[in-house]
Amino acid sequence: MSRRARIIASLVGALTLLGLHLSGDILQPRSASHARDITLEPEFDWYALEPSERIQWTPCFSGQKCARLLLPLDYGTPDGPTTAIALRMIPASSKEEYKGTILINPGGPGGSGTDLVARAGQNISRIVGDSFDILGFDPRGIGASTPVASCFETDSQRKLWALQEGHRLLNVTDDTLAIRLAREKAVAQRCDEKIGGERGIGRFMSTPDVAKDMLEIVQQLGQEKLQYWGFSYGSILGQYFSAIYPDKVGRVIIDGVYDAHNYRAALWNTNLADVDTVMDSFFHFCHEAGPDKCSLWKPSAKEIRTSYFDLLHAVETEPIPVPLANPPLLITRKVLQSQLFRASYKPLLAFGIVADTIRAIEQRNQSALIELAPKIVDPVECKCTIPEPWRSDTEAFNAIACGDGDQHPYDPDTYAAYYKDLAAQSQLVAPLWGIHYLQCAEWRIRPKWRWTGPLEAKNTSHPLLLISPRYDPVCPLTDAKAVHERFGGSGLLVQNSYGHCSLSAPSLCTAKHVRAYMVNGTIPEAGTVCDPDELPFIGSVRDIRTMSAEDAELLEAVKGLSDVVPMFGAL
């Protein structure tokens, strides 16, 4: 596609996303607000930026810097093929006390770091302080890095394939399991053809490969050690880096911590320990907030919960059609369970939408459901224009998560026992989370470099800082505690909140600890707990008028991160 054609396509896409017409991760499904943020930025053509073996910064995005760095595709053959890694940096505004560059990772696996800079870079800079550069990179195979791990020719193909999944929830006792297995087998075989092979990008996207890329980036920046803030899967990347290169750890924060041992075993069976507690908080906070703030309010949290589950059962036999939504929408049990699970990642922003949805269904309010439709399911529309390649989704989750993990070919008895264990943790989420095991059971592309060494370090050159909500739907506190024990001298900060990663619940206390750690290397005292400053439905619990100007600005920056909570897993 020519540059002129790409610009025209981008402008058409911008109009589409603004509502004149109307895009998930994996991880990280894109929201409409995310898409608007990106398309309203100054136009920038990543592929017109010449990649080089040394970082060559080019001005981009109104005062920022961009580059494409050529690194070996296979570190075992450094003179062989290369991958071009996209870098996007917000330079430090204070040069007097310059403290270097912080790399950030949004999770996934499959999330774009350049995109995270677009959506959250300025607020991250305000939190850590203006003496740091903030650098987001697209890991190999992802975003604007090339080659791209895409097994479909277009996003439209991928979305049309997703539509064939249907409305039935996964169940090990009926044909939904066979259908899901067949779908995962189809994707795996397609990816074998598209990104497999001896030099296919699918073999060179492993987490140790990306950790080595990070080390190369840091060294080219002239830094001796890594400074890093990684979220969700970014916590896995942080653990790998710190275990492989313990003497290269500077300031490393892992936020929303998944146990890398469980991840590498490809088990996916510790994640849901607290998800029901997070979802149950929906009923509690709705009741506590009162009828003016929660549309589903009833005299007790128990009654709200009963109302929700009664409706959930009702739509099993009588789905709700919304014929005048664009496109038409059918609300089924799967739709509602998926909505509440996704909302558990960021209760502050999404619980209200769940309440409004249930209330509108109870009242059979078609006007309200039409308005809510884009927030109930991601709208899908077939478009003639092709979006910029770096804005498309990929199959990176499978390549990274399944490639990093042990192989578990599908066995009916083994999977039945696995699913039973998931369902014991959460009946609602087991049908949604159980797909990850199946994805990896059918995946056949194996990485050239897979780390099988220790995922711990008695000593790192500087202690890690782990941050965990008390109740995280997919990265439980128990995992954070296990990782904390494996990295000598590390600190663990618990945020007394519900949701995924600390970003899901703004906390001035947490922000201050992050800044103290990045600026001075200060580890919070053992047992430190921070409270959130805003609660779902209820709103702010701190009067900003009583704060200093500095604290008010810091809290505002943290609140600005609430919409960039990573979606961990291939939702």
Mean pLDDT of 30-56: 70
Q: What is the DSSP string of 529-544?
A: EE--SEETTTEE-S-G
Residue 159, pLDDT > 90, answer no
Q: Look at residue 162 and give its three-state secondary structure.
A: helix
**pLDDT of 21 strictly over 50:** no
Q: Cα 46 to chain center, whole Å?
A: 22
551 contacts: CB under 8 Å, gap ≥ 6 = 508
Report pLDDT digits (tens) over 468-491: 999 999 999 999 999 999 999 999
Average pLDDT of every residue of the chain: 91
Residues 6+ apart with CB under 8 A from 390: 46, 86, 112, 114, 138, 143, 144
Q: CA separation (Å) from 564 to 5, 37, 38, 462?
A: 30, 11, 13, 28
Say if residue 36's pLDDT is above 90: no
Contact yes or no for 261/56 (Cβ under 8 A)? no
Q: Please report which confidence band the pLDDT of residue 33 belongs to, taking 50, 70 and 90 as the band edges.
A: very low
Whether the pLDDT of residue 31 is over 70: the answer is no
147 upstream amide cis, omega within 30 of 0? yes
Q: Is the pLDDT of residue 171 over 70?
A: yes
Q: Tokens standing for 468?
A: 């965990």
Would you state the pLDDT for residue 24? 30
Average the pLDDT over 167-175 and give the result. Answer: 95
Domains and CATH numbers, the chain: 90-146+204-269+456-562 (3.40.50.1820)
- Picking from 113, 107, 115, 121, the residue whose alpha carbon sits closest to that of residue 138 is 113
Q: Check pLDDT > 50 for residue 403.
A: yes
Q: Rounded distance, CA 518 to CA 253, Å?
A: 9
- What pLDDT does 380 receive? 63
pLDDT above 50: residue 251: yes
- Mean pLDDT for 322-330 is 94
What per-residue confidence (pLDDT) applies to 571?
54
344-397: pLDDT as tens digits? 999 999 999 999 999 999 999 999 999 999 999 887 666 666 778 898 899 999
Please state, as a whole number, how many other Cβ atoms lie within 10 Å of the Cβ of residue 110.
28
pLDDT band at 12 (very low <50, low <70, confident <90, very high): very low
Per-residue pLDDT, averaged over 164-182, amounts to 95
Token readout for 318 is 């009588």
Q: Of residues 571 and 232, which shows the higher confidence score?
A: 232
pLDDT at 16: 32
H/E run at residue 331: strand 329-331
DSSP H/E element including 520: helix 508-520
Q: Which range among 153-162, 505-514, 553-562 shows the weakest confidence by mean pLDDT?
A: 153-162
> Rounded distance, CA 274 to CA 408, Å?
25
User: Is the model's pLDDT at 35 over the cut of 60?
Assistant: no
Does position 248 have pLDDT exceeding 50, yes or no?
yes
Q: How far is residue 73's CA from residue 11's CA, in Å, rounded to a whole number?
A: 33
Percent of the chain with pLDDT over 90: 86
* pLDDT confidence of residue 34: 36
Long-range Cβ contacts of 516-523 (<8 Å, 24+ apart): 517/251, 517/253, 517/465, 517/491, 518/99, 518/102, 518/128, 518/129, 518/132, 518/227, 518/251, 518/253, 519/99, 519/128, 519/129, 519/131, 521/251, 521/462, 523/463, 523/465, 523/489, 523/490, 523/491
* DSSP E strands, 21-73: 58-60, 64-72
pLDDT of residue 270: 96
Q: How far apart are the first and last CA of the chain?
A: 30
**Residues for the chain: how many in total?**
571
Residue bearing the bigger pLDDT, 96 or 496: 496
- Which pLDDT value is given to residue 540? 95
Instruction: Please give the DSSP secondary-structure letter assigned to residue 98.
Output: -
Read out DSSP for 136-149? EE--TTSTTSBS--
Q: Which long-range contacts (CB under 8 A, 24 or more apart) does 59-65 make?
A: 60/88, 61/88, 61/118, 63/90, 63/91, 64/88, 64/89, 64/90, 64/91, 64/117, 64/121, 65/89, 65/91
Q: What angle do CA 353, 358, 359 make, to 5 degrees?
A: 95
Q: Measuring CA to CA, how many Å separate 38 from each of 33, 103, 115, 388, 393?
A: 9, 20, 8, 11, 15
Asked whether the predicted pLDDT for residue 500 surpasses 60, the reply is yes
Instruction: Taking residues 529-555, report their average pLDDT.
Output: 94
Contact present, 289 and 281 (Cβ < 8 Å): no
Q: Which one, of 427, 431, 412, 510, lies nearest residue 467 by Cα?
A: 510
CB 315 within 8 A of CB 336: yes
What pLDDT does 42 receive? 65
Nearest-angstrom CA–CA distance, 93 and 46: 24
* Mean pLDDT within 287-296: 98
Can you give the pTM of this predicted structure? 0.92
The 10s digit of each residue's pLDDT in 518-533 is 999 999 999 999 999 9
Q: Which of 318, 327, 312 is nearest to 370 (CA)?
A: 327
The sign one gets for the Cα dihedral 29, 33, 39, 45 is negative
- pLDDT confidence band for 514 (50 / 70 / 90): very high
Q: Taking the mean position of all CA atoms in its chain, how far away is CA 531?
A: 23
Task: Please identify which residue in the block is written with the tokens 């305000």.
Answer: 126
**In the structure encoding, which two tokens stand for residue 348, read together?**
């502050």
- State the greatest distance between any 2 C-alpha atoms of the chain, in Å, as a whole number: 69
CA pair distance 27, 30, nearest whole angstrom: 9
When pLDDT is averaged across residues 288-314 and rounded to a whole number, the result is: 98
